[in-house]
Amino acid sequence: MKIGCPKEIKPQEFRVGLTPNAAHEAIARGHDVLIETQAGTGSGFSDDDYAAVGAKIVGEAADVFAQADMIVKVKEPQAVERKMLREGQILFTYLHLAPDPEQTRDLMASGCTAIAYETVTDGQGGLPLLAPMSEVAGRLAPQVGAWTLQKANGGRGTLMGGVPGVGPANVVVVGGGVVGTHAARVAAGMGADVTVLDRSLPRLRYLDDTFRGVFKNRYSTAGATAELIRDTDLVVGAVLIPGAAAPKLISREQLSDMKPGAALVDVAIDQGGCFETSRATTHADPIYEVDGIMHYCVANMPGAVARTSTIALGNATLPYLLALADKGWRQACEDDPHLLNGLNVHAGHLTYFAVGKALGIDVLSQALALKE
Ligand SMILES: NC(=O)c1ccc[n+]([C@@H]2O[C@H](COP(=O)([O-])OP(=O)(O)OC[C@H]3O[C@@H](n4cnc5c(N)ncnc54)[C@H](O)[C@@H]3O)[C@@H](O)[C@H]2O)c1
């Protein structure tokens, strides 16, 4: 198969869909890999790195799209890219179609077969191609939180780990899933006093068994949150209710109960945010203040560490990418129902029910699409 990887063109996106190591593995199995020139630069991979493993460097995105049987990307295809997709071509990338009717219609009109990273599942009920980005954002949250707490950034001037004779920062992590667990681990590693709140007792049991003593945990109620935030330097928002907007767990009124200069890092901002006063920010201008409380609400946190994010995403996508290339999408999806769950669009049909419901578009079941 000819696998094509164009340079990402969405603003502020520095990741790339294929690492040189992934390209190497595909080439070793007999596939051809086409990389648009400079596609890996933002993640620290040069054209030479790709050429060294046998990939062909291509000057224009249009040539990558024209020649490849499968396009591998990171972000959803932009309008100009969607025009270059064609019938029978496989698109393997993040899509997030539910809030994006324009993209959905364009993908259907192209006739391509689009497999979305975010809806591929695993045997443990997880989302294996979303998890690496949650791991990155989670580990980054205390790092950006610590920076936000610095005086020059409007913060309280508290050092996460304190020093001998001075206590550490108090950190509350709301939501103990992938983001929350990684945030809590790193915050505790920085020496902070950390409490994780979650509404899932099985999750709290897991955290308690696994991280005994590293950080505390409590069942998440409005009362527990109200009590804890009075004495907190940093709150990390890491809740997710699948398929729903994030619940608002700290109101504007409650900000006045917090210590001036305390920081809120709302990782859940991509689902609308879990603090009433959250609004999405960018890496260029990441923080703002409301009622004396500093907010960090960057919607694409992994972009700050594009190299780590690219490699982490590449590790997760590689087995699926190889299966699609080796077997073709139909056989690969027939053999792996979790990969089939990633099928969102095929040959003019929408094939993902939640997207169809959100956009009011008729859906062809994934099982029937396999037989088309
Ligand atoms: N901003 C970014 O760059 C970025 C990057 C990655 C992920 N995210 C977002 O971070 C959020 C968390 O992702 P995740 O992978 O950790 O999800 P996850 O499903 O692994 O974890 C979510 C946790 O929230 C808990 N929860 C739900 N309601 C709660 C409540 N009221 N109080 C406390 N806990 C509650 C759930 O029980 C679950 O354990 C998602 O919105 C995700 O999209 C953002």
pLDDT of amino acid 242: 73
pLDDT of amino acid 9: 96
296, two tokens:
């960090």
Detail the DSSP E strand segments found in the chain. Answer: 2-5, 32-36, 56-58, 70-72, 90-93, 113-116, 170-174, 193-198, 216-219, 234-237, 263-266, 287-290, 293-296, 343-346, 349-350
How far is ligand 1, taken at its centre, from the CA of residue 299, in Å? Answer: 13
pLDDT of amino acid 188: 98
pTM, two decimal places: 0.93
User: What count of Cα atoms within 13 Å lies in the side-chain half-sphere of residue 246?
Assistant: 23
CA distances 71 to 96, 227, 325, Å, are 17, 50, 11
pLDDT of amino acid 243: 66
Nearest-CA residue for ligand 1 atom 10 is: 268
Q: Does the active-site annotation cover 338?
A: no
How far is ligand 1, taken at its centre, from the CA of residue 156, in Å? Answer: 26
Q: Which amino acid is at 280?
A: A
CA distance linking residue 227 with residue 176, whole number of Å: 18
Q: Does the active-site annotation cover 96?
A: yes
What is the Rg, in whole angstroms, of the alpha carbon atoms belonging to the chain? 22
Mean pLDDT in consecutive groups of 10 residues from the start of the chain, 372 residues = 97 94 98 98 98 98 98 97 98 93 97 97 94 97 98 98 98 98 98 98 97 96 98 97 85 98 96 94 95 96 96 98 98 98 97 93 97 87
CA distance linking residue 340 with residue 311, whole number of Å: 24
pLDDT of amino acid 125: 87
pLDDT of amino acid 45: 98
In angstroms, the first-to-last Cα distance of the chain is 21
